[in-house]
């Protein structure tokens, strides 16, 4: 009885701290990362969200931010219920807040994209090896700390694998989203920047003259297309409606297909699970281990303790994701 009472009290307290989506009269909030201008991103998503609202019978609004951390916090607190993005999803799945239910499919059928390093087309840099031998010569724009293509993937493939860091390799280091990084390189305010192949493709369509002034000097191995996640505490009937809407959207419907194409060159969504986050978790673990190893502010004993904690944490996460992969 005492155990039951404690459980009921905990549930009551959690509902006070984190107000969940209550009913079909409530408004769903879709947390969207802004790779470019937030106001423009919100306008771009409006046709999709209107279709979603009509189809599931619930008002749907956008929460757009340039900062992944703001979206993660909104999802944690129940202020948003749906979102997208690899690293963002990993964080929310690990803590049990959300689950993956769908994955973006591109217009060409590809299920992946690439992290890239860009520079001006007239730059003497043409490859990653060119850059690695020019320590302290160039200005760099990194991505948002929680961006997969903007920060996590370059941290592993560009920096950790070459036993360096942005601070060691570049003269100056700043951060920005894909739009800011593209424009900084274009205007010669930065020499090198991280970006996403999807965003570069978008610029080639929307700003072809500017895109021709930019070149890619490094491309990562393929990354899984963004997962779509929703909060686990949504009512089951709402979850089912959302999942059905995403999986069917754009199929045999030219108007919906045009909405997806204009959003980001997508053709639709396929069913997915938390298991698609396994390679992202591996990258995150390696990055954190490497960061800990190079942290000279900590003693050897502190680094060893941090190492053990990371291994324990990610072993648990890896098991969680793999069990999901094996589930029928």
pTM score: 0.79
The Cα–Cα gap between 190 and 183 comes to: 9
Instruction: Report the phi/psi class of residue 187: left, alpha or beta, with left for phi > 0 and alpha for psi in -120 to 50.
Output: alpha
Question: How many angstroms separate the CA atoms of 302 and 323, rounded?
Answer: 32
pLDDT tens-digit readout, 247-270 = 999 999 999 999 999 988 899 999
First to last CA, the chain: 35
Structural domains in the chain, sorted by start: 18-111+232-273 (3.40.190.10), 112-223 (3.40.190.10), 280-326 (no CATH)
Angle at which helices 254-264 and 38-56 cross, to 10°:
150
Q: Is 88:100 a contact under the CB 8 Å cutoff? A: no
pLDDT tens for each residue of 122-165? 999 999 999 999 999 999 999 998 889 999 999 999 998 898 99
Positions in the chain whose pLDDT score sits under 70 = 1-25, 325-328
Q: How far is CA 82 from CA 91, 129, 200, 267, in A?
A: 14, 40, 26, 20
Confidence at residue 46, expressed as pLDDT on a 0 to 100 scale = 97
Alpha helices in 18-155 (DSSP H): 38-56, 68-76, 86-94, 128-132, 153-154
- Residue whose token pair is 């690990």: 94
Q: Quick one: tokens of 307?
A: 């190492």
Residue 135, C-beta contacts closer than 8 angstroms, at least 6 positions apart: 164, 168, 169
The alpha helices in 114-253, defined as continuous H runs, are: 128-132, 153-154, 166-169, 178-186, 197-206, 208-211, 236-248
What confidence score (pLDDT) does residue 323 get? 83
Residues 298-324 as b or e (16 or more Cβ within 10 Å = b): eeeeebeebeeebeeebeebeebbeeb
Q: What is the pLDDT of residue 25?
A: 52
Supply the pLDDT for residue 326: 64
Under 8 Å CB-to-CB from 48, ≥6 apart: which residues?
A: 249, 259, 260, 263
For 133, residues 6+ apart whose C-beta sits below 8 A from its C-beta are none
């Amino acid at each position: 009885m005492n155990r039951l009472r404690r459980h009921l009290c905990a549930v009551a307290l959690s509902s006070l701290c984190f107000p969940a989506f209550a009913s079909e009269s409530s408004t769903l909030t879709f947390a969207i990362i802004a790779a470019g201008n937030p106001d423009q991103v919100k306008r771009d998503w409006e046709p999709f969200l209107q279709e979603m609202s009509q189809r599931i019978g619930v008002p749907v609004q956008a929460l757009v931010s340039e900062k992944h951390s703001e979206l993660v916090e909104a999802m944690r607190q129940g202020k948003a219920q749906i979102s997208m993005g690899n690293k963002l999803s990993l964080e929310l799945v690990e803590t049990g807040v959300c689950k993956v239910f769908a994955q973006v499919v591109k217009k060409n059928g590809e299920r992946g994209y690439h992290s890239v390093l860009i520079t001006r087309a007239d730059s003497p840099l043409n490859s990653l090896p060119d850059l690695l031998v020019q320590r302290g010569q160039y200005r760099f724009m990194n991505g948002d700390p929680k961006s997969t293509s903007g920060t996590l993937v370059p941290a592993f493939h560009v920096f950790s694998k070459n036993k360096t860091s942005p601070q060691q390799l570049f003269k100056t280091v700043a951060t920005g989203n894909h739009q800011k990084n593209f424009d900084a390189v274009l205007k010669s305010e930065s020499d090198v920047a991280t970006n996403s192949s999807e965003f570069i493709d978008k610029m080639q369509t929307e700003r072809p003259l500017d895109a021709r002034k930019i070149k890619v000097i490094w491309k990562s191995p393929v990354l899984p297309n963004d997962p779509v996640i929703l909060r686990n505490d949504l009512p089951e009937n709402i979850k089912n409606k959302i999942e059905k809407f995403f999986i069917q959207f754009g199929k045999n419907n030219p108007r919906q297909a045009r909405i997806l194409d204009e959003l980001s060159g997508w053709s639709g969504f396929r069913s997915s699970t938390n298991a698609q986050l396994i390679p992202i978790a591996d990258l995150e673990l390696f990055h954190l281990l490497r960061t800990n190893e190079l942290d000279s502010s900590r003693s050897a004993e502190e680094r060893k303790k941090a190492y053990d904690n990371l291994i324990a944490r990610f072993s648990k996460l890896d098991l969680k994701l793999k069990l999901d992969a094996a589930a029928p």
